[in-house]
Amino acid sequence: MHVVVITKSVPDTEATVTVDGSGNVSWGDKLVINPWDEYAITEAILLKGAHNVTATIMTIGPDEHKEALKHGLAIGCDQAIQVWDAALEGHDSLAYATAAAAAINKLGDVDLVIFGKELSDIASDIHVFQTARKLGWTALGSVAKIDAIDFGAKTIQVQRLVEQGIQVVTSQLPAVISVIKDINEPKYPTFIGIRKAAKADMPLWDSAELGLSADDLAAPVKVTGYRELPKREGAVQMIDGASAAEQAATLADKLLEEKVL
């Protein structure tokens, strides 16, 4: 029984992102774990507590992502694996998914892969579904709760947050899920975990290790630049009126006029 969380370091959500004239982005120098992944790791640790599974934390990325791996170990994951290869430099989500799926297959005994809902830096979750597709496993996005999981019978039942409400889904294991904030209260690192993480040996799996060629990892999609959006001009208007009701009516009129409503 084996649960894998796939994580990444991202710029601090409080960092100021700047784009210079030639489209180079600077994110600030402080990296944190992708905030959504804290829920993914916590869920893996909860499963570990309830079902005695092995929890592995994995990243597909260069050394700066080891911080996210250490964070996972500090919260309680059993082992950490870094997947990276020079061929992945400038990778897109498909190349990422290829590498992730190969690493999951290399582990061999994985029942469940957990991702955070999305990557907070690029606001994308496509890698989640592409990884599932590459593995040929079910993908369940936006999971708000794992109702039941049976590692013996290889079944899972989850609640997914969909636009209309909550959808209850059952599926076979192995599966890939992505989790949202409702699923748990993120655990903090523990001093025991930190001690372990500080000394941890984190194997690096490159393309040879994964049995992949440079072609397998070539990225069909290339990001060619970033631009800053034109600054929005804001203005403040105070709404007068004898009563709150009158002010509200004026406000509603103005919003309708501006086609905001």
Partner 1 sequence: MDFTLNDEQRMYQDAVRNFCEREIAPFAAEIDKSGQLRMDAIAKMPDLGLTGLQVPEEYGGADLDSICTAIAMEELGAVCGSTGLSVEAHNELCCLPIVKWGTDEQKQRFLPRLTSGEVLGSLALTEPDAGSDLTGTQTRAVKDGSEWVINGSKAWITNASLAPVIVTLVKTQPDAGSAGFSQMLIETDRAGLEIAPPEKKMGTCASPAHVLTFTDVRVPVENLLGQEGRGLHQTLATLDSGRIAVGALCVGLARAAFQHALAYTQERQAFGQRLVDHQAIQFKLADAATQIEAARLLVYRAAWAKDRGEKYTRLASMAKLFASEIVESIAFEAIQIHGGYGYSREFPLERIYRDQRVMSIGEGTSEINRIVIARQLLAN
204 contact partners, CB below 8 Å, separation of at least 6: 82, 83, 84
Instruction: Report if residue 197 touches partner 1, rule: CB under 8 A.
Output: yes
Question: Going along 87-241, which residue ranges are E strands?
Answer: 112-116, 138-150, 155-162, 165-172, 175-179, 204-205
15 contact partners, CB below 8 Å, separation of at least 6: 27, 28, 30
Min dist CB 55 to partner 1, Å, is 17
Instruction: Give the binding range for partner 1 (CB under 8 A) out of 78-86, 104-112, 185-193, 221-229.
Output: 185-193
Name the packing angle between helices 66-75 and 191-199 (round to 10°): 140
Instruction: Report if residue 189 touches partner 1, rule: CB under 8 A.
Output: yes
* R_g of the chain, CA atoms, integer Å: 22
User: Using CB under 8 A, which residues numbered 1 to 20 contact partner 1?
Assistant: none
Nearer to partner 1, 68 or 95 (CB): 68
Instruction: Give the binding range for partner 1 (CB under 8 A) out of 80-88, 101-109, 130-138, 197-205.
Output: 197-205
Nearer to partner 1, 195 or 254 (CB): 195
Min dist CB 5 to partner 1, Å, is 18
Instruction: Report if residue 191 touches partner 1, rule: CB under 8 A.
Output: yes
Min dist CB 219 to partner 1, Å, is 32
Selected binder of partner 1 within 2, 70, 91, 117 (CB under 8 A): 70
Long-range contacts of 59-62 (CB under 8 A, 24+ apart): 59/6, 59/7, 59/8, 59/9, 59/83, 60/6, 60/8, 60/84, 60/88, 60/91, 60/96, 60/99, 60/100, 60/103, 61/8, 61/9, 61/88
Instruction: Give the binding range for partner 1 (CB under 8 A) out of 1-9, 104-112, 113-121, 194-202.
Output: 194-202
Instruction: Report if residue 69 touches partner 1, rule: CB under 8 A.
Output: no
Helix count (H) and strand count (E) of the chain?
7, 13
Min dist CB 43 to partner 1, Å, is 17
Residues in the interface with partner 1 (CB under 8 A) total: 13
Selected binder of partner 1 within 195, 213, 241, 255 (CB under 8 A): 195
Amino acid at 194: I
Contact 5, 58 (CB under 8 A): yes
Instruction: Report if residue 188 touches partner 1, rule: CB under 8 A.
Output: yes
Residues contributing to the site for partner 1 (CB under 8 A):
70, 74, 187-192, 194-195, 197-199
